[in-house]
Amino acid sequence: MSFHSGFVCILGRPNAGKSTLLNALVGEKLAIISPKPQTTRNRILGIINVPKQKSRDAGQIVLIDTPGVHRPDTSLGRQMMSDVREAMSGCDLILMIVDAKKKWDATDTFLFDLVKKTATPVFLLLNKIDLLADKRDLLPLITQFQALRDFKEIIPISALKKTGLDELLQCVLQALPKAPAQFPEDQITDQPLRFMAAELIREHILMQVREEVPHAVSVMVEQYEEGKTLTRIAATIFCDRNSQKSILVGKGGQMLKKIGTHARLDIEKLVGTKVFLELFVKVQPGWRESRQFVEELDWRRRAGL
């Protein structure tokens, strides 16, 4: 019996289901999810310990969820794509995930070009198969993708319905080198709680407000005080324009209150104490274009990692 371990990068265009897959495989909500593209802005680590089972090998899989691959046109976009490249460069395996229902376009060409030169093995995951009325539609898709690249495996899955994930985990484990675990067995991520709290606030903004506002929003936790029974958090929601601030605050502060209440309940589940959450909204024109501001949002950079 062998023990396998390594880094696995989840790669794909925005909205393909990368974060849904990360959460499903780890069995915990580590990444926020939304129907809007470019939800994830930083790479997110998720650690899975696979126990020894009868004839099966054991191991530790370190998954890295990444921002959706796109052609960046802002500092924020460039930082997101640099996170993607960072995740790809040190990994042992790439899981390239595509939406089985979506028609091929220029973003897919860009995505395939990105993996063209890599010597790292690539699995192709055809996701969202729960949306296919006829599973026979998968065959022409598989043939089409096989012509583009020599994928080590092609696996149809539904990250949402958790279909095909056992097979995927086994294939991933076998593709990883024989090596000892890289992280302690009780660790499932490297994200600080204050960053996860900021992300949960952003998730509720993504759910509650529409159109361009979610993309114009970032959240920074300014104060985070852990107590035995109460965690005090103060966070600022940054947006681009006054009109967006009005939407985020809402009539008589109703929208901000709604976002705060939902986010607080989720953060309480995460930290395991009651939470006192204070939210502020600030207009920071053009923040997505400011490299300095974007770097400040990046917890790894702030922690000097």
Ligand X SMILES: Nc1nc2c(ncn2[C@@H]2O[C@H](COP(=O)(O)OP(=O)(O)OP(=O)(O)O)[C@@H](O)[C@H]2O)c(=O)[nH]1
Residue from 6, 12, 46, 214 in contact with ligand X (CB under 6 A): 12
Smaller CB separation from ligand X, 127 or 218 = 127
Residue from 30, 81, 155, 159 in contact with ligand X (CB under 6 A): 159
Smaller CB separation from Mg ion, 86 or 268 = 86
Tell me if 153 sits within 8 A of 171, measured CB to CB. yes
- The window from 8-16, 118-126, 232-240, 279-287 that contacts ligand X (CB under 6 A) reads 8-16
Residue from 5, 107, 158, 231 in contact with ligand X (CB under 6 A): 158
Residue 35 interacts with which of ligand X, Mg ion, none, CB < 5 to 8 Å by class: ligand X
Distance CA 210, CA 11 (A): 26
Residue from 37, 72, 121, 192 in contact with ligand X (CB under 6 A): 37
Question: Nearest-CA neighbor of 297 among 95, 67, 98, 107?
Answer: 67
For the bound state, the minimum distance from the C-beta of residue 45 to Mg ion, rounded and expressed in Å, comes to: 13
Other CB atoms within 10 A of residue 126 CB: 21
Smaller CB separation from ligand X, 43 or 264 = 43
Q: Is 39 in the site for ligand X (CB under 6 A)?
A: yes
x/- string (CB under 5 A) for Mg ion, residues 145-164? Answer: --------------------
| 193-195-198 Cα angle (round to 5) | 110
Q: What part of residues 2-31 is at the interface with Mg ion (CB under 5 A)? A: 18-19
Residue from 127, 189, 208, 236 in contact with ligand X (CB under 6 A): 127
Residue 75 interacts with which of Mg ion, ligand X, none, CB < 5 to 8 Å by class: none
Residue from 5, 40, 75, 189 in contact with ligand X (CB under 6 A): 40
x/- string (CB under 5 A) for Mg ion, residues 209-228? Answer: --------------------
Q: Is 30 in the site for ligand X (CB under 6 A)?
A: no
